[in-house]
């Protein structure tokens, strides 16, 4: 606990002066709610996915501590979208994903396994590690993954008042060729306005959804 006397303001001076002036009044201590019982800073984000209604679905909540491998979602390819938010509303299933943060988690081809899952471990208040593993291997306790990936979650404010803050992103993509063809189409680039990286990526994919064989997004960069 931190003594409030270490930082006085006009408002706290009046408030705590009134408390101390009462019969039996004593000094007041304030507890930092972001600290756990062991006095470490609590991980501030809820981690989750996007549901069918384009709302945030919490998978890993505040009850999971640091350095614990927690099962996330199946590994069906090289990348997945991880959505995150600091809002308690993230538990309610009515928070649009356009109002939360989003990052893409990539893994190497050698880690892709249809029988495996992405596992996430909280490392610092703004950093996570992730791996691909079979649940049974994690339960054994001695699993040594081939690769451990790390990514930082940005401390961003997506909402200002009632208005969503938009950003500009450059999205590079390739129009997919006929699967039977051995040639590959060139890389295209476009600029879009979006609330986060995943929103930008989805805008481009939706725009070209009617192309013959679809598109493949190679990168999304904030400008």
168 backbone dihedrals φ, ψ, rounded to 5°: -105, 135
Evaluate if residue 219 carries a pLDDT over 80. Answer: yes
Least confident residue range of 96-105, 106-115, 121-130: 96-105
The structure's pTM equals 0.63
Least confident residue range of 55-59, 133-137, 157-161, 218-222: 157-161
Evaluate if residue 171 carries a pLDDT over 70. Answer: yes
Evaluate if residue 29 carries a pLDDT over 60. Answer: no
The model's confidence at residue 2, banded by pLDDT at 50, 70 and 90, is very low
Greater confidence, 63 or 161?
A: 63
What percentage of the chain carries pLDDT values higher than 70? 71
């Amino acid at each position: 606990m931190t003594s409030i006397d270490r930082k006085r303001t006009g408002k706290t001076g009046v408030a705590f002066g009134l408390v101390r002036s009462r019969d039996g009044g004593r000094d007041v201590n304030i507890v930092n709610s972001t600290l756990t019982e062991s006095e470490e800073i609590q991980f501030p984000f809820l981690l989750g996915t996007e549901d069918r209604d384009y709302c945030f679905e919490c998978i890993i909540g505040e009850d999971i501590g640091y350095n614990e491998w927690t099962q996330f979602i199946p590994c069906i390819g090289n990348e997945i979208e991880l959505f995150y938010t600091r809002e308690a509303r993230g538990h309610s299933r009515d928070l649009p994903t356009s109002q939360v943060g989003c990052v893409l988690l990539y893994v190497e081809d050698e880690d892709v396994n249809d029988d495996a899952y992405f596992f996430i471990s909280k490392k610092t208040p703004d950093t996570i590690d992730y791996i691909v593993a079979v649940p049974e291997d994690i339960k054994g306790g001695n699993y040594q993954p081939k690769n451990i990936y790390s990514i930082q979650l940005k401390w961003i404010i997506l909402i200002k008042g009632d208005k969503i803050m938009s950003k500009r992103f450059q999205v590079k993509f390739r129009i997919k060729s006929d699967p039977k063809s051995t040639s590959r189409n060139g890389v295209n680039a476009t600029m879009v306005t979006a609330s986060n990286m995943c929103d930008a990526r989805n805008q481009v994919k939706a725009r070209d959804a009617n192309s013959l064989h679809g598109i493949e997004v190679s990168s999304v960069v904030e400008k």
